[in-house]
Amino acid sequence: MKIHEYQAKELFKKFGMPIPDGKVTNNPEEVGKIAHEIGKPVMVKAQVHVGGRGKAGGIKFAHNAHEAWEHAKAILGMDIKHCTVKKVLITEAVDIDTEAYIGIIVDRAAKMPVIMVSPEGGVDIEEVAAKTPERIMKLHVDPMLGLQNFQAMKLARFVYEDIGIARKAARVIMQLYMTFMHVDASLAEVNPLITTPDGKVLAIDAKINIDDNGLYRRPEIEAMRDLDEEDPSETEAKNADLSFVKLDGSIGCIVNGAGLAMATMDTVKHFGAEPANFLDIGGSSNPDKVINAMRIILRDPNVKVILFNIFGGITRCDDVANGIVAAVKDFKPPVPIVVRLTGTNEDEGRKILEEINLAATSSMEDVVKKAIELAAA
Amino acid sequence: MAIFLSRKNKVIVQGITGRDGSFHTQQMVDYGTQVVGGVTPGKGGETVHGVPVFESVEDAVKSTYADTSVIFVPPKFSVDAIYEAVDAGIKLVVCITEGVPAIDMLKVYHYVQSHGARLIGPNCPGIISPGLSKVGIMPAQIHRKGKVGVVSRSGTLTYEVVFALTNKKIGQSTVIGIGGDPIIGTNFIDCIDAFNKDKMTDGIVLIGEIGGTDEEEAAKYIKKNVKKPVVAFIAGRTAPPGKRMGHAGAIISGGTGTAEDKIKALNAVGIPVADLPAQVADLMAEKLGTAKKKKKSAKKTKKSSK
């Protein structure tokens, strides 16, 4: 799950990270008041779940409350990479001496968190890694021990020569690690971490991605979910306990299992068409799931055919067939349906589908070809 | 022989009284797996399909000498269940459960390693050595005893490939689903290494998907160490970046983990990657055919040189 900059800053702040004062609002009329309260020049920052806000004009400097209000009016409602800006963060503008990068992710191969720091802050860290990898220091943390002070200091000294600044930065790196581990993050970064001419170290931007698997025990973070930022059909699918990702093609896919669902999309593409979605109905074979899945897919006007690819294991083909029949009777889908059934109770499933004159194939390639043919007709 | 799992493994089921645990206990017993016990706290003394239920893994191990465990408990309790199994001396832990937080798995992984145990999963279908034993949830009837090892990050996609192999009369020595999470107990390399050393495995099928770099690491390892034929399939060529495709680990992030990169890495070391799942069987048939011919002609030259 993604959260906004202002939410990431709230989390970092809980662990003591130094962050300039700020407030979030969706109302341009409040912006002047907030800027006035801060009493200094401010930054007006669009809060959306995509990168490249600055380049898109979503981050502006304002000398005073009036300017802040004007910027906020322009930014709110702005479209950044297909996301409409609904909130802005008004935060104190600070003088910047140096900009650095600090971040942490899980290293899947090493099975350890890895911290990355670089004196090249404020730019895309992947670019730094590609062009000047020697400007990045990486350090793996033993998850059994946690980050030790000397390690944080080693990282900080890579970035800062001044020992006083390095000590402050080491503390921030420690806070970054603590936050990462305590919120079930999959990524946490501060870019840039800045120093001011008077020797302060401040996190002026923040990003945290959360591991969905950790959300069951982090209700305070689940509460940060911004439904405006998520595709409504994906939210609906999530509530129906379906795994769904919307795409741009015309072949609606309903599959059991994530790997098979991806392979089904790939097969559609292989035979020259585009999938409309990824959808995994999961392992259980509740007919309701099938009905919900069809309903969600049919919301997309681009969908010209619905393709079922079911390899029964725990999922029973007869349950899926019952779901298809119920859905067809319930809301008469305006597009053709093609079905592949193999595995547990496939014969029973076929028989059930006969009731609505649907013939199921047993080959994945055949069903995909048939779907493409029907979509083109 | 097969890898990791043979007829000898004595298996307990953690979460045996739950819906899935109970159903698959029956399936495993029917297949011939030695299921010697189950664990559900508070239900010790009961039986499930004739299998005795114990209060703890420790109790179960004491009474049954179990060395293998399969976990069906909900994500909230599965981390504890893995620790409990390893602490009680279980050597092979198969965690079926989906939804375990990655941060927890970091610690679990190192704990399991330091105790000389093996964890398969989490979020996996388990492991089957056809004709010998199965510890997991895969439909047994699609498998066929034979000499090809299959290792996969997926569940139903593995069934699809195994089904195609079986239809071509290519049997399997062991089929392992290593799981769709970012942090898993057993990786491709662990399985490929074991298949490579297994005398009863002649060829290896690797089924990967987007996310991480496990396939790339496997390619490097195979180039250096493996002479047996390897063929692959990679799911997710059409997956958009930054989106989790069902599996927690199936996500292209920061430009790494694309299907394209993985296919390139595998092709670069001479591993053919099938365009469609069923083609894996054709590629393997081809490879095994040519490998046999090579062996034969090698024998001939040996003889003639005498």
pLDDT at B19: 87
Q: How far apart are the CA of B45 and the nearest CA of chain A, in angstroms?
A: 28
Burial pattern A20-33, b for ≥16 Cβ within 10 A else e, equals bebbbbeebebbbb
Please write the tens of the pLDDT for every residue from A188-201.
Answer: 999 999 999 999 99
Residues A194 and A294 in one domain: no
Do residues A301 and A206 share a domain?
no
Name the fold adopted by B138-291.
Rossmann fold (3.40.50)
Residue B198, token pair as written in the block: 């297994």
* Identical topology for domains B1-123 and B138-291: yes
Domain B1-123 in CATH 3.40.50.720: yes
pLDDT of residue A52: 86
A258 near B CB under 8 A: yes
Q: What pLDDT score was predicted for residue B304?
A: 47
A270:B109 CB<8 A: no
Q: Are the Cβ atoms of A186 and B102 closer than 8 angstroms?
A: yes
List of residues 6+ apart from A125 with CB closer than 8 A: A101, A103, A116, A118, A136, A189, A191
pTM of the model: 0.93
Note whether residue A1 is domain-resident.
no
**Distance of residue A184 Cα from the nearest chain B Cα, in angstroms:** 6
Cβ–Cβ below 8 Å for B275 and A312: no
Residue after which a domain boundary falls, among A44, A77, A92: A92
Residue ending a domain, choose from A176, A192, A222:
A222
What is the mean predicted confidence (pLDDT) over A322-334? Answer: 93
Strands B68-71, A83-84: pairing is unpaired
How far apart are the CA of A247 and the nearest CA of chain B, in angstroms? Answer: 8
Burial (Cβ within 10 Å: 0-12, 13-18, ≥19) of residue B56: middle
Q: Give the integer Cα–Cα distance in Å for A179 and A159.
A: 21
Domain boundaries, chain B: 1-123, 138-291
Measured between beta carbons, which residues in chain B are less than 8 angstroms from residue A213?
A: 75, 99-102, 181, 248
Query: Is residue A7 a part of any domain in this protein?
Result: no
Q: What is the CATH number of the domain that holds A348?
A: 3.40.50.261
User: Which residue intervals of A16-159 are DSSP H helices?
Assistant: 28-38, 65-75, 125-131, 149-159
Q: Is the dihedral of CA B285, B291, B294, B298 positive or negative?
A: negative
Neighboring chain B residues of A258 at a CB cutoff of 8 Å: 154-155, 180, 209, 245-247, 250
Which of A92, A127, A142 is the C-terminal boundary of a domain? A92
- C-alpha dihedral over A142, A143, A145, A146, to 10 degrees? 100
Residue A9 lies in a domain: no
For A113-151, write each residue's pLDDT tens digit: 999 999 999 888 889 999 999 999 999 999 999 999 999
Structural domain count, chain A: 3
Exposure string of A222-244, with b = 16+ CB inside 10 Å and e = fewer, is eebbbeebeeebbebbeebebbb
The answer to whether residue A74 neighbours chain B at the CB level (below 8 Å) is no
Give the whole-angstrom CA distance, residue A6 versus residue A90.
10
Do A206 and A308 lie in a common domain? no
Give the model's pLDDT for residue A190.
98
Question: Is A10 within the bounds of a domain?
Answer: no
Mean pLDDT, chain B cut into blocks of 10 residues (306 residues total): 94 95 95 98 96 98 98 96 98 96 97 98 97 96 97 96 97 97 97 97 98 96 97 97 92 90 97 97 93 61 47
The pLDDT value recorded for residue B293 is 66
Does some domain include residue A4? no
Mean pLDDT value across residues A69-78: 96
User: With an 8 Å Cβ cutoff, is A256 touching chain B?
Assistant: yes
CA distance B234 to B148: 18
Read off the pLDDT of residues A181-228 as tens digits, 9 standing for 90 and up. 999 999 999 999 999 999 999 999 999 999 999 999 999 999 999 998
Residue pLDDT, tens place only, A141-152: 999 999 999 999
A350 and A275 in a common domain: yes
Dump pLDDT digits (tens) for A23-54: 999 999 999 999 999 999 999 999 999 888 99
Beta-carbon separation of A364 and B105 below 8 A: no
pLDDT band at A315 (very low <50, low <70, confident <90, very high): confident
A16 within a domain of the structure (yes/no): no
- Residues contacting A369, CB < 8 A, separation 6+: A271
Domain of A325, in residue numbers: 231-376
Does residue A12 lie in a domain region?
A: no
Residue B201's pLDDT is 97
Residues A257 and A372 in one domain: yes
**Does residue A103 sit in the same domain as residue A199?**
yes
With CB atoms and an 8 Å threshold, state whether B245 touches A262: yes
pLDDT at B298: 59
**Within 13 Å of residue A178, how many CA atoms lie on the same side as its CB?**
16
Query: What pLDDT score was predicted for residue B146?
Result: 97
In DSSP terms, A80 is beta-bridged to: A83
